Structure 1
Amino acid sequence: MNRLTSRLLALAGLLTVEVAAGLGLFVAAFAGFFYLARVVFVHHSQALDTWAFAVVDAWQHANPWLVGPIHFVTFFASLYFLLPASIIGPLLMRRAGHRRDAWEWLLAMAGSVLLNQLLKLYFNRPRPVNTLLHTYGLSFPSGHAMMGLTFYGCLAWLLARHFGQRGWAVPLLLWAGLIGLTRVCLHAHYATDVLAGFAGGAAWLVGCRAALKLFWKEEQAVLK
């Protein structure tokens, strides 16, 4: 019992304000995801999805020139972009001498892909029938939204940590949000899919970040 108590106290000592804030954000994002899941699969409400499609359809009808930019933006969270970027990015970080961060980025992306696929299989929601491009797989939560937020969230963190570029956080997160919007514009996902993808990505990102921070700190404490 004394050993267990000592172990718990040691873990508590590793907690920092950053980790505590991350856990708080994790709970908030998880709650948002749970709420959206209830709206879609328990209450079977389509009000938000119907409204969102109507808004983006009217917007595109009034601005037909947006079709090209929408396809361009959505590419930057596609598998064709994120797969090589999620390998090249960590490799560059490791080459720059940031081995731990390289592993964290790689693990965050790999975990996000796996979690997204497991959630899709569990909820088993079909894609919208009126999609404007060829899509495959299931719909809830959006992979573009979830993995895009994970990727650009990691990039924002690394830029702030190693290069002092904190100002990039907002543009990168807005970029991830814009990518999610394109999925609704293309009818590749419902709005609730995209919002759930953001919530799932945020929960995974901050939870993974907090867990890894605890792991690295505990490992250093053990080595000492």
Structure 2
Amino acid sequence: MNRFTSRLLALAGLLTLEIVFGAVLFVAAFAVFFYLARVVFVHHSMALDNWASSIVDDWRHAIPGLTGPVRFVTFFAALPFLLPASIIAPWLIRRAGHPREGWELVLAMFGGIVLNQLLKWYFGRPRPSNALLHTLGLSFPSGHAMLGMTFYGCLAWLLARHFARPGWVAPLLIWVGLIGLTRVYLHAHYATDVLAGFAGGAAWLVVCRAGLKLFWKEEEVVLGAKE
């Protein structure tokens, strides 16, 4: 009985706030992604997409000059921006004395790009036919939304966890939300593509973080044994 109790206590000690939050976030994100996939590919419902499109179309007609700023915002989750940013930001993080965290951002982005392309290929949803800008590739899930969540979400986590800058979390997540909104406004994606991209990016961040943490813990155990 004492042995069983000690194991339970040891297991409870592993359930840190980070692990609990990560598990809850992963389950919620996976559930949202699965639900949206069913809505789009099983029920073939366009209700949410049509509703969101009508709202942004009203915005565009009410504010004719809004399209320019929207194009500016959407650029900050495009690959021409994210690829160099995914090199410069980790380099700055490494220079600040956090080499592992720099690698975490690099691996999160590289894996996010590959995963997004695999998901697009698997679902094979064409983009909206009335896009306001020429965009290549498939639609579900949105690459801007998923990679924006991956990059800025990982950056928000690192700033809060390792640089004592929790005040950056809310602005960065709001920025991700705005980027996703621009994709719907420009008809580059359906609203369900964007929401699925957010969910996919969040789930991938949890998996990436958990995998790297386990790898580094195992590495420390091996190095400790050698010493």
| TM-score clears 0.5 | yes
1:45 aligns with 2:45: yes
Contact 1:15 1:214 in 2 (8 A): no
Is there any run of 5+ residues in structure 1 with no aligned partner, and where?
1-9
Aligned partners of 2:68, 2:206: CA distance in 1, in Å?
A: 33
Deviations 1:46-81 (A, max 9, x none): 000011100000011101111111001000000110
Match in the other structure for 1:26 = 26
Q: Partner residue of 1:16?
A: 16
Identity %: 75
| 1:110-129 alignment, distance < 5 Å | 110-129=110-129
Using CA pairs below 8 Å that are at least 6 residues apart, which structure has the higher relative contact order?
1
Are 1:222 and 2:216 counterparts? no
Gap regions ≥5 residues in structure 2: 1-9
Equivalent residues in 2 for 1:126-205 (5 A)? 126-205=126-205
Q: How many angstroms apart in 2 are the aligned matches of 1:17 and 1:114?
A: 29
Structure 1 residues 107, 91: closer, same or farther in 2, change over 3 A?
A: same
Taking the aligned partners of 2:55 and 2:68, their CA distance within structure 1 comes to 19
Q: Does 1:109 align with 2:141?
A: no
Higher deviation after alignment, 25-34 or 86-95: 86-95
Tell me the TM-score normalized by structure 2.
0.90
Q: Which amino acid aligns with 2:58?
A: A
For the pair 1:62 / 2:62, whether they are aligned, the reply is: yes
Compute the TM-score of the two structures, normalised by the length of structure 1. Answer: 0.91
Contact 1:23/1:210 (<8 A) preserved: no
Amino acid at match of 2:59: W
1:209 is aligned with what amino acid? R
Distance across 2 between alignment mates of 1:124 and 1:176: 24
| CA apart distance, 1:23 | 1.8
Q: Give the secondary structure class of the aligned counterpart of 1:130.
A: coil
Deviation at 1:12, TM superposition (A): 8.6
**What SS does structure 2 have at the residue aligned with 1:81?**
helix
Task: Please say which of residues 35-44 and 209-218 is displaced more in the overlay.
Answer: 209-218
Comparing 59-68 with 142-151, greater Cα deviation is found at: 59-68
- CA distance in structure 1 between the partners assigned to 2:117 and 2:12 by the alignment: 33
Question: RMSD between aligned alpha carbons?
Answer: 1.7
- Kept in 2, the 8 Å contact 1:14–1:218? The answer is no
Larger mean CA deviation between 96-105 and 40-49 belongs to 96-105
Counterpart residue type for residue 99 of structure 1: P
> Which residue is 1:211 aligned to?
211
The superposition leaves residues 10-46 of structure 1 with CA deviations (integer Å, 9 ceiling, x where unpaired) of 9997553312320221111011000000000000000
Tell me the matched-pair count: 216
State the AA in 2 paired with 1:149: M
Q: Which runs of 4+ in 1 moved over 4 A?
A: 10-15
CA offsets 1:134-153 (integer angstroms, 9 cap, x no match): 10000000000000011001
